[in-house]
Amino acid sequence: MPDFDILLPSLLNGLATGAVYALIAVGLTLVYGVLHIINFAHGASLMLALYAVYFLKERWGIDPYMALPIAIPGMFALGYALQRAIINRASHGKDENSLLATLGIAIVMENLALLFFQSDTRSIDTAYSLRTVAIGPAMIAVPKLLACAGALAVSGLLYWIMGRTDLGRAIRAVAKEKEGAKLMGIDVDHVYAMSFGIGLACLGAAACFLLPAYYVNPQVGGGFVLVAFTIVVLGGMGSFAGALAGGLLVGVAESLGGLCLGESLGQIGIFAIFIGVVLLRPQGLFGAKA
C-alpha cells in the first residue's frame, strides 16, 4: 500500500485531471439533456479545438490561457452553425437521424485533420510547462493546477447560467417539455443550437487548459470522449452535478489505478467503478429513476 507522501500527489493529480474530464463531460451531458442525442462529434470537436489553440500559440504566439476569449466563442459559433445548418436539417424530426449526423460530422472532421495536419503528434512549450508548486508534501505541475482551477470555474459559470439566466431557463424548459416550451413562445430550434454551441464552447475552454501539458493529433479526441461518455452515464444522463462529480471520481480512479497497477492499466479503475454503478444504481449517481 503506497504511503501518504506518494498517495497525496496521485490524489491531487487525479482531481486536476478529473476537473478537465468533468468540463468535457458537462458539454456532452448538456447536449444529451436538451437534444436527447449522444453527440458522437464531441471528441472530434475537442481535437479541432486543440489544433486551434496549438496554431494560435505556434503562429501568433498567443498563450493557451490567453486564447480562452478566442477559443470559447469560436467553438460556440462552430457548434451553433453545425446544429442549425446540418444536424437540425438532417434530423427530419427523428433523433436517430441527428445521432447519425453527428457521427458523420466526426468522420469528416477527423479525416480533414489527417489531410491537412497529417498524423503527427504535436505539442507546445511554455515558460511554465515544467514548473511545479508544493502542496504539503506533494509537488503539482503548474499547468495541471491551472487547468483544475479553470475547469471548475468554467463549470461553475455554466451552472450559474443554467440556473440564473433567461437562456438557462429556456434551455431547461425545452429539455423538460419541448412542446410546452413552444406554446410559451420559446424558439426551440434556437435553444437547440445554443445548447449545442455551449457544449462545444466547453471543449474550447478544455483545449486551452489541456494543451500546456498535453498533445494533439487527429485521433486525440477518441480517448477523451470515451472517458466523457463513461462520466455522463456514471453521473446520470443529463445531470450537471453528476458530470462534475463523475469527472472528479474518474480522474482520481485513473490516477490511483495508475499508481497501483502501472500507467498502462490505470483506466481499469474507471471501468470497474462504472460497472459497479451500472449494476447497483443503473440511473447513475445523480440520475432520476425513469
Which residues neighbour 200 within 8 Å (Cβ) at sequence distance 6 or greater?
27, 45, 49, 75, 76, 78, 79, 82
92 pLDDT tier (thresholds 50, 70, 90): confident
- How many residues comprise the chain? 290
* pLDDT reported for residue 7: 80
Q: How many CB atoms lie within 10 A of CB 84?
A: 17
User: Count of alpha carbons within 13 Å of 69, Cβ hemisphere only?
Assistant: 2
Q: What is the mean pLDDT of residues 15-19?
A: 91
- Asked if 175 contacts 44 with a C-beta cutoff of 8 angstroms, the reply is no
Residue 160: HSE in the Cβ half-sphere, 13 Å Cα cutoff:
6
Per-residue pLDDT for 173 more than 80?
A: yes
CA distance 272 to 164: 37
State phi, psi for 138 to the nearest 5 degrees: -95, 140
Predicted pLDDT of residue 189: 92
Residue 134 pairs in a beta bridge with: 139
What pLDDT does 20 receive? 94
Mean pLDDT on 36-56: 94
Rounded distance, CA 54 to CA 64, Å? 8
Q: Please report how the helices 240-261 and 142-164 are oriented relative to each other, as an axis angle in degrees rounded to 10.
A: 160
Only one residue has cell 453521473, namely: 235
Q: Does residue 110 surpass a pLDDT of 90? A: yes
| pLDDT of 105 higher than 70 | yes
> What pLDDT band is residue 126 in, cutting at 50, 70 and 90?
confident
- E strand or H helix at 133: strand 132-135
In angstroms, the CA 100 to CA 266 distance is 32
| Tens digits of residue pLDDT in 225-271 | 888 888 988 888 778 888 888 899 888 888 887 777 666 666 777 77
Q: What is the reported pLDDT for 287?
A: 66
Angstrom distance (rounded) from CA 253 to CA 123: 26
Whether pLDDT at 209 is above 90: yes
Please give the residue that has the higher pLDDT: either 5 or 104.
104
Say whether pLDDT at 138 is over 90.
Answer: no
